[in-house]
Chains A and B, each alone.
Chain A
């Protein structure tokens, strides 16, 4: 039995502690917004925040996340109000959408660390997340847009 703090709530999970956090989130807690893509930290579809840091939950043992703050896509905002979600909707970033939870969670950390990231910073911060549909140019534009929304809510 392990205790996790997910999206601000304490939850317990009766799982083998070596189970990757990804599968505990998805299958035990029913938080299916976090995706499986590769199982070896290559694609970033499983990205969540652990104490504010973007991690690949497919290679993180659940037990190692105990006692830390875990945020998943479901906890990014309760109502699509996160600047990144607004920008993603405004610029119609997703295509199939499968990788987008991970993209958003990586972008959220990038934006928290750099209020107005350059293209290079975006490329660096987002290079761990694969999008097979090829939405990269929109991801870049949407991160810039989110930075502007966050800065003033205004237009760029």
Chain B
């Protein structure tokens, strides 16, 4: 989910005012009387020392860091332990990382629920985890001081030992665990001066890599225990369709199929393995009531959106008098931009294991949304939230899909387990994933811009048309204000360029296709429309697109710095061979500043090749530089797949794509050379998982214009019409 979807700044402000983390409990009443939101609940185990919910030190000197964020590739199982260990002074080479259970102690400090998203993991844990580490160190030092009868000030901690400087005496953390566990946690926890950081700011190798190169890493799909069955679910061909009748005779005849059961989302085939379950599903004969969504077609939607875009929507932002400024402009241009529905297509298809008992429900799944999933699972199972245990496995990609506001894949698995009366793993096939909805919405953007006689932009209007991802979810009360879903206009209404007359307005049609946050959320479409149109406006005024951006970012020094850096590194302005072109784009999202330059070529047949992507990022203080580089690299490839490859389309309510042959991913032979430059900063850390995505498509589209003179206003760009 996007931080800004919940209007991040306001949220943080209000959140702090009401004592952090309490906001969501207004909407999730179960949270209000859950465990204290500020005092971590720590299980007491003999011989171990747990100063708080994030650290466990055992007598054998093992130091376990319990991480409340889901590892989906972004490196939180490495960067977040770095924050703890920096202050705890544990031995980096000896730590273990464990995924946290669901507990209030692990809630997002601003969002008030346990979740991973909005590119907020580092930003939101930056202070807390360092304090947790420091508290642990202070207690270990206090234990040693007591043991040796010396002043704590005469001791320091280093690599799993407390050391008495004067005598050279050393005590390992493990040997102090018992004693430390009897002490009271400190209330005043001073933090290191950044100049003394030993880990923070250094590229540390990821702790999860060894397990990911020998096959031992456990993803949700790898969970297995005796007695567990596998289920696949046949879902309706149209969103919202209902089962009318089932003929399960042929399905049940498949060896290995144990049962066929109607569940609220469709028909579940229960078998002793994936293959028989899938074969059984293929043999089901089901009649559906397709419901009201059977008429949905992308072609029809596009017509509806295009005509809506020509009418005024709800105003999300207004500055000056755009209508008057446009009327007086020396030159005006109009352009319409379009992007399709997109599936997240994580490499690991959705899955969820449920062991449901009379008074307990145990769940193993790769989720980004522990609190929401637990509440939903409890409600489905008829249990209390505390009777539901969720084991967060590694996630084979998330990109937002595993933070489902309806907990769709978890709720369905609980429903299947309830019906099957055995522990069950529900597995989604790739086809289920591609056709399963919860897409990045389809968007249509109409832009009008005007420049004065000197070619300077003086007016800008942007009409956005697309579904709301907040509507109908528990996030609606603070995600939608005065009819405007902030995530629909993020990256557009908060335009950084100094244009004196500006209007952004929004139409939110209701369509029966479930939509959801998708890596970079609203920025994924607004970044394209805004940055590609800015390029058009620059050319309309006879300006260099880099120089004009630079001029209009005079009051945005951080963005201007990344822009200058990327231009320099990409040799902006240096001639390229014929058929080649460079395009530049910037985008501010998740509180980070990113600028990119794409270098492309287009041959005479219109075949496009992206040769090089240069990226500059300012994400505040960097914890693990190599991890930031990796996220930018990954964001660029993700953005290129969206720019060049994919669309989800519907006809008669049916999704027309089904697997990687017709919903393709960028492959290694198409992947450009990528260069990432990080701006050094002492500001607080900001997001990196998502901000690399939004500038990609506009940088490529602008490069295509530079190479060919052709404007690309619709994604995906499969080839360029050269005639």
Contact = CB atoms under 8 A, between A and B. Distances in A.
Interface of A: 15-16, 19-20, 23, 26-28, 30-40, 42-43, 45, 72-74, 76-77, 80, 84-85, 88-90, 92-101, 104, 122-124, 126-127, 129-140
Interface stretch (B84-92, B183-191, B657-665): B657-665
B668 interface: yes
B274 A95 contact: no
Contacts, number: 189
B667 A130 contact: yes
6 contacts: A43-B665, A85-B214, A94-B208, A96-B73, A134-B634, A136-B666
A36 B673 contact: no
Given A76-B214, A96-B348, A139-B668, A130 B73 contact: no
Contacts of B218: 32
Contacts of B222: 26, 32
A140 to B, nearest CB: 7
Interface of B: 71-75, 205-206, 208-219, 221-222, 224, 230, 255-256, 273-276, 345-349, 394-399, 427, 429-430, 626, 630, 633-638, 659-661, 665-669, 671, 673-674
A72 B209 contact: no
Contact of A94 (B212, B349, B635): B212
Given A33-B216, A96-B72, A133 B429 contact: no
A96 B638 CA distance: 14
B210 A98 contact: no
A94 B634 CA distance: 11
B176 to A, nearest CB: 32
Give the 4 A-B residue pairs with the shortest CB-CB distance, closest first: A33-B215, A134-B637, A98-B396, A97-B212
A124 B669 contact: yes
B669 A127 contact: yes
Contacts of A97: 73, 208-209, 211-212, 217, 394, 396
A126 B668 CA distance: 7
Contacts of A124: 669
A101 B215 contact: yes
B668 A136 contact: yes
A42 B273 contact: no
B75 A95 contact: yes
Nearest to B671: A136
A112 B221 CA distance: 30
Nearest to A33: B215
Given A96-B396, A130-B665, A35 B348 contact: yes
B224 A92 contact: no
A33 B221 CA distance: 10
A16 B257 CA distance: 12
Contacts of A26: 222, 274
Given A39-B429, A99-B347, A134-B634, A72 B210 contact: no
B214 A38 contact: no
A96 B273 contact: no
Contact of A42 (B394, B661, B666, B668): B661
Nearest to A23: B275
A19 B275 contact: yes
Contact of A137 (B206, B216, B221, B671): B671
In the complex, which of the residues A27, A38, A98 has the most CB atoms of chain B within 10 Å of its own CB atom? A98
A137 B209 contact: no
A129 B668 CA distance: 8
A39 B667 contact: no
B365 to A, nearest CB: 14
B209 A134 contact: no
A123 B668 contact: yes
Nearest to B345: A132
B660 A80 contact: no
B214 A92 contact: no
Nearest to A85: B213
A138 B212 CA distance: 15
A20 B275 contact: yes
B429 A92 contact: no
Contacts of B668: 122-123, 126-127, 129, 131, 136, 139-140
Given A37-B430, A97-B396, A132 B215 contact: no
A85 B211 CA distance: 10
A89 B72 CA distance: 18
Contacts of A135: 630, 633-634
Given A80-B214, A95-B73, A136-B637, 19 more contacts: A15-B275, A19-B275, A32-B224, A33-B214, A35-B348, A73-B213, A88-B213, A89-B205, A89-B210, A94-B212, A96-B347, A96-B395, A124-B669, A130-B347, A132-B665, A133-B347, A134-B634, A136-B671, A137-B633
A123 B212 contact: no
Nearest to A89: B209
A30 B637 contact: no
Nearest to A134: B637
B248 to A, nearest CB: 19
A16 to B, nearest CB: 6
Contacts of A32: 215, 218, 221-222, 224
A117 B396 CA distance: 29
Contacts of A122: 668
Contacts of B661: 40, 42
Contacts of A129: 667-668
Contacts of A16: 255-256, 275-276
Contacts of B276: 16
In the complex, which of the residues B215, B345, B665, B666 has the most CB atoms of chain A within 10 Å of its own CB atom? B215
A131 B224 contact: no
In the complex, which of the residues A20, A37, A73, A99 has the most CB atoms of chain B within 10 Å of its own CB atom? A37
Contacts of A37: 347-349, 430, 660
B650 to A, nearest CB: 21
B373 to A, nearest CB: 19
Contacts of A74: 214-216
A78 B347 CA distance: 26
A94 B205 CA distance: 11
Given A33-B214, A35-B347, A127-B667, A138 B660 contact: no
A30 B224 contact: yes
Nearest to B660: A42
Contacts of B216: 33, 74
A98 B72 CA distance: 9
B634 to A, nearest CB: 4
A126 B666 CA distance: 12
Contacts of B671: 134, 136-137
A27 B274 contact: yes
Contacts of A99: 347, 396
Nearest to B674: A137
A132 B347 contact: yes
In the complex, which of the residues B256, B347, B396, B637 has the most CB atoms of chain A within 10 Å of its own CB atom? B347
A32 to B, nearest CB: 4
Given A23-B274, A96-B73, A137-B671, A131 B214 contact: no
B275 A96 contact: no
Nearest to A43: B660
A122 B669 CA distance: 8
B205 A92 contact: yes
A93 to B, nearest CB: 7
A64 B430 CA distance: 24
Contacts of A33: 214-217
Contacts of B634: 95, 133-135
B348 A98 contact: yes
Contacts of B427: 36
Given A92-B630, A95-B75, A96-B348, A133 B224 contact: no
Contact of A80 (B210, B224, B397, B399): B210
A83 to B, nearest CB: 12
